[in-house]
Structure 1
Amino acid sequence: MRVVFLHPDLGIGGAERLVVDAAVALDRKGHQVKVVTNHYDEKHCFKETRDLDIKQIKWFPRTIFGHMWALCAYIRLCLAAMYVCFNEDFDVVFCDQVSAALLVFKIYSLFNSNFRTIFYCHFPDMLLTKRESSMKKLYRSVIDRIEEWSTGMADMICVNSEFTASVVRDTFKSLQNHQLRVVHPSLNTKFFDSIKVGSDVDDLISHAEYTFVSLNRFEVKKNVKLAIEAFIELKDLLPEDLYKKCHLTIAGGYDPINAENIRYFGELKKYAEEHLEEAQCRFIRSPSDEVKVALLRSSRAVLYTPDREHFGIVPVEAMYCASPVIAVNTGGWKIHFKKWAPRISHSLFWGIAREKKLTKD
C-alpha cells in the first residue's frame, strides 16, 4: 500500500510523534511511505524521521507581515496537497491537523477516485484562538467555516480521545452524523526500552533528592508557568532544609523560528529567576529522546500542566517510566485513565489545578 502523510510542521510535538510513529510502523510493515510537510529541520526533529522519505513544500510564507497565520497554514498545506496529487502515486492520504488540504483531494477525486483520505483531528482549531477585534472575528468566521466544511470531506475522521470526540461534535454541528473513530496516540515501548543514558546525558539530569519535571512545548496553552508557581508554593509547605533538596526541571520543545516559543521561554525563565534559587530550577530546550527519557526515569513526579488537554502523551510516557504524574484534572487523558488506571501498575497521582495554583485535597 502507498501511504502519504501530510503534516504542516514536522517538529517534535505530540502530533508529530503520532505521525512519525505511524509512518515508521507502516514502513517497517513493508508499505511505501512518503511524508510531505511544509517545514522540516533535521536539527529539530525526532531522529526516526531521518530514515523516512520526506518532501518539503515551502512555496508560501508562514505569515503575511506577521499576520494571518491560519490562512497561510491553510494555503501552505493545500499547495503541499497539490504537489501530492500531481507528483505522487498513493492509495491513502493521512492528513494531520489542517483539514483545508482535504478540499484539494476532494477536487482531485473527481478525476481519480482510487484513493481514500483520513483526517486526524487533535482538537478543533477554532477553539484555540482569540477574537479580540471585529476584523479578527470576520477573518476567523471564514477560517472556521472552511475548517468545519473541509473536515467533513475526509473518508475517515479520527480523533485522539473521547474528550476530543465530544468537543468536535459540540463544535462542528454539521458533523453530528459523522462517525468519529477514537485512535489514541501510541507509545513506542521498544524505543523507550532501548534508550541508554550516557555520561553526556547524565550531566543534564538533576541529582537532587526530590526532582520534579515539567515536559511540554514552550507555548502559552501548555500552562507551564503553573509548574513554577506550584514549586514556589511548595516552599511554604515544607521545612527549609527539605525544600532545599527539591529541584524543578522545565523541559520542552523549542523552535528557534517560532515567535511564541521564544517569547514564552523568556517569560518563564525570567519568572523563575525572580522567585527561585538558580540551583533549584533548570530549563532544557528541545531535549533529545535520551534526555527526555532520563528526565522521566529520574523524577519523583512529573507535573502535567495543560488545561483541557486533548489527549496528553506525556502522562503515558511518564507512567511507562515508573514516574507518578501530578496533573490538571481536565481533558482527554483524564477520561482515558479513568478507564484504564485500574490495570496500570505504576502510580498515578490525581492533582487538581484551580486557577493559578495546585491545591491539596
Structure 2
Amino acid sequence: MVRILFLHPDLGIGGAERLVVDAALALKARGHEVSFLTNHHDPTHCFKETSDGTLQVQVVGDWLPRKIFGRFYALCAYLRMMYAALYASFVLSHRENIDVFFCDQISVGVPILKLAKRRPKIIFYCHFPDQLLSIREGYLKSVYRAPLNYLEEFTVGMADVTLVNSKFTLRVFGDTFQRLDVVPDVLYPSLNTQYFDAMQKKIAAMPSMEFGVKACEEIPRNAFIFLDINRYERKKNHALALHSFRLLIDALSAPDSKRCRLIIAGGYDDRVVENVEHYNELRQIVSKLELQENVILLRSPNDDEKFMLLHKAHCLLYTPDNEHFGIVPLEGMYMSKPIIALNSGGPTETIVNNSTGFLCEQQPSKFADAMLQLYKDDALRERMGVMGHKRVQQKFSFEAFTDKLNNIVETVIKPVWTKESSKKKDA
C-alpha cells in the first residue's frame, strides 16, 4: 500500500477537480491510502466524494488572501500553495509516512515538498501551463508575470514524474517550457463510470423521473434540448452557443422553434468576480437575442442534477477554443449524446468528426448547421450516440485510467521500496 497525498489549490467543481478526485478514487480502489490537502473546500460547492467522507480532505491556508486590491490573483494562488506545501512537508510528513505527493495546476510547491521527511516522490499533473491561462494586459502585466512564469518552468522540472492531459497539451508544454529536458507522459482523464451506470439503473427503474432541477420543471415533455456544460468563464465561450442557437431558431418553423431549448449549466462561485460578471453578461445576451423563453442559465448543478441534464438532453454543445482536454464531451458520449465542439485542442482527440459528433469552426453558422442536422435526423443522432458510448468504453475507460495511473505510482515508488528492503536485509 502506498500513502498518497493530493495537493490541489481549490477543491471545487471543474474539470481539474474532477480529474484529481477520479485519480484519488482510482488509487484508493487499488488499495492505496489517499487524502487531499487544499487551500479551499466548500462542502456545498464540490464533488460529492469530497464531502460525504469517501475522500478525506484537509484545508490549510484559506485565511491567506485570494487577491490584493482586486488584482494579483496568480501571486496569491502561488503563496497559498506554497503555504500548503510547507504544511505538507513539515507537519503532515512528520505525522504520517507519505510516499507520494500528487500535485496539479500550481507547481511552485514542488521544491518545498522535496524537503519533506523520507523524501516522498512527487508527481505533477499539468492540465495546461499556468502562464498561458492569464490574460495579457500590457507591459506591466508582463513584468508582473515574468518571475511567476520563470518559477513555473523551474519548479515543473523538479517533479519526479510529469503528466499532461492530452497530446495537445503535450505539444503546448514543449513549446512553452523550452528550457526543460522533460517529456511528460499523457494520462487522459476518464470517467468514474460506476456512478453513471448506477444512475442509469435508477432511471430504468423509474422511467418517469423528472429533471430534479427546479429551473427546468416547466420545460415541455416534447422539448428538444441542447445542453452546454462549462464554468461561467469568458474563455468557455458560452456566447457561441447562444448566437448559434439564435440562428437555429430562425431556421425552424414556429412550432419547432417553440420546442427547442438551450440549457447552459455552469460552475459558479460568487467569490469569483468573473463568474458573477460573465453570468450577467450571458443574461444580457439572452435578452438581446430575445431567447428568454428558450434558454435556461443554471448555476452549479450538483452531480445528480448534472446527470439528469445529460440524460434528458438530445445533444451536447462544447464551445471552448483550444481546450486542454475537456471531460464534458466524454460524459456526453458515455451518455450516448452526439457532441458538437470546436475543431481545436483536446476535443479533436476525443470526438471523431461525423462519427461521434461534429467538429466545427468557431462560427455560429457552422454550429447552427450541425445543430439543425441533428435536430432533423433522429437516426443520425442515435447512431452518433451509440458510437460515442463505444468510443469512451474503448479509449477512455476508467479501468484503463486506473491501470496506467497505478502503474505510474508503483514505478515511481519502486526505487524507494527497493532501497528500504535492502536496508532491512542488511540489518
- TM-score strictly above 0.5: yes
Partner SS state of residue 7, structure 2: strand
| Partner residue, 1:55 | 58
Partner SS state of residue 10, structure 2: coil
Q: 1:223 to 1:208 in 2, by over 3 A?
A: farther
Question: How far did 1:59 drift?
Answer: 4.1
Give the alignment partner of residue 212 of structure 2, picking from 201, 205, 222.
Answer: 201
> Is the aligned partner of 1:184 residue 2:188?
yes
Segments of 5+ residues of structure 1 without an aligned counterpart are: none
Question: How far did 1:193 drift?
Answer: 1.4
Question: How far did 1:210 drift?
Answer: 1.3
> Is the aligned partner of 1:348 residue 2:356?
yes
| Partner residue, 1:100 | 108
Question: How far did 1:113 drift?
Answer: 5.0
Return the letter of the residue paired with 2:128.
F
User: For residues 221-258 of structure 1, what are the alpha-carbon distances to aligned partners after superposition, in whole Å with 9 as ceiling and x for unaligned?
Assistant: 10011100100111232222221211110101111211
Question: How far did 1:204 drift?
Answer: 4.6
Q: 1:280 to 1:356 in 2, by over 3 A?
A: closer
| Partner residue, 1:287 | 301
Segments of 5+ residues of structure 2 without an aligned counterpart are: 204-208, 371-427
| Partner residue, 1:320 | 334
Partner SS state of residue 141, structure 1: helix
| Partner residue, 2:161 | 156
Give the whole-Å Cα distance in 1 for the aligned partners of 2:361 and 2:176.
Answer: 25
Partner SS state of residue 358, structure 2: coil
Give the alignment partner of residue 306 of structure 1, picking from 320, 329, 342.
Answer: 320
Return the letter of the residue paired with 1:171.
T
What RMSD in Å do the two structures reach over aligned CA positions? 1.9
Identity %: 44
Q: TM-score, normalised by structure 1?
A: 0.92
- Does structure 1 retain, via aligned residues, the 8 Å contact 2:339–2:351? no
Return the letter of the residue paired with 1:54.
V
Q: TM-score, normalised by structure 2?
A: 0.78
Q: 1:248 to 1:336 in 2, by over 3 A?
A: closer
Q: 1:125 to 1:53 in 2, by over 3 A?
A: same
Partner SS state of residue 350, structure 1: strand
Give the alignment partner of residue 141 of structure 1, picking from 141, 146, 154.
Answer: 146
Question: How far did 1:7 drift?
Answer: 0.2
Return the letter of the residue paired with 1:348.
T
- Does structure 2 retain, via aligned residues, the 8 Å contact 1:119–1:157? yes
| Partner residue, 1:243 | 257
Question: How far did 1:350 drift?
Answer: 1.2
User: For residues 239-291 of structure 1, what are the alpha-carbon distances to aligned partners after superposition, in whole Å with 9 as ceiling and x for unaligned?
Assistant: 22221211110101111211111110111012112213422111111111111
Give the whole-Å Cα distance in 1 for the aligned partners of 2:364 and 2:70.
Answer: 31
Q: How does 1:198-237 map to 2 (within 5 A)?
A: 198-199=209-210, 201=212, 204-205=215-216, 206=219, 207-237=221-251
- Does structure 2 retain, via aligned residues, the 8 Å contact 1:305–1:327? yes
Partner SS state of residue 343, structure 2: coil
> Is the aligned partner of 1:172 residue 2:177?
yes
Give the whole-Å Cα distance in 2 for the aligned partners of 1:215 and 1:354.
Answer: 17
- Does structure 2 retain, via aligned residues, the 8 Å contact 1:120–1:159? yes
Give the whole-Å Cα distance in 2 for the aligned partners of 1:228 and 1:351.
Answer: 18
- Does structure 1 retain, via aligned residues, the 8 Å contact 2:333–2:356? yes
Give the whole-Å Cα distance in 2 for the aligned partners of 1:143 and 1:240.
Answer: 54
> Is the aligned partner of 1:80 residue 2:84?
yes
User: For residues 96-154 of structure 1, what are the alpha-carbon distances to aligned partners after superposition, in whole Å with 9 as ceiling and x for unaligned?
Assistant: 10011112123x06xx4531000000011111122323211111111111111111111
- Does structure 2 retain, via aligned residues, the 8 Å contact 1:329–1:352? yes
Give the whole-Å Cα distance in 1 for the aligned partners of 2:156 and 2:124.
Answer: 7
Give the alignment partner of residue 116 of structure 1, picking from 114, 121, 130.
Answer: 121
- Does structure 2 retain, via aligned residues, the 8 Å contact 1:351–1:358? no
- Does structure 2 retain, via aligned residues, the 8 Å contact 1:97–1:121? yes
Give the whole-Å Cα distance in 2 for the aligned partners of 1:335 and 1:193.
Answer: 24
- Does structure 1 retain, via aligned residues, the 8 Å contact 2:348–2:359? no
Q: 1:277 to 1:139 in 2, by over 3 A?
A: closer
Question: How far did 1:313 drift?
Answer: 0.6
- Does structure 1 retain, via aligned residues, the 8 Å contact 2:215–2:296? no
| Partner residue, 2:402 | none
Give the whole-Å Cα distance in 1 for the aligned partners of 2:31 and 2:84.
Answer: 25
Aligned length: 351
More displaced, 191-200 or 136-145?
A: 191-200
| Partner residue, 1:5 | 6
| Partner residue, 2:26 | 25
Give the whole-Å Cα distance in 2 for the aligned partners of 1:43 and 1:315.
Answer: 25
Give the whole-Å Cα distance in 2 for the aligned partners of 1:358 and 1:291.
Answer: 30
Determine which structure has more spread, i.e. the larger CA radius of gyration.
2
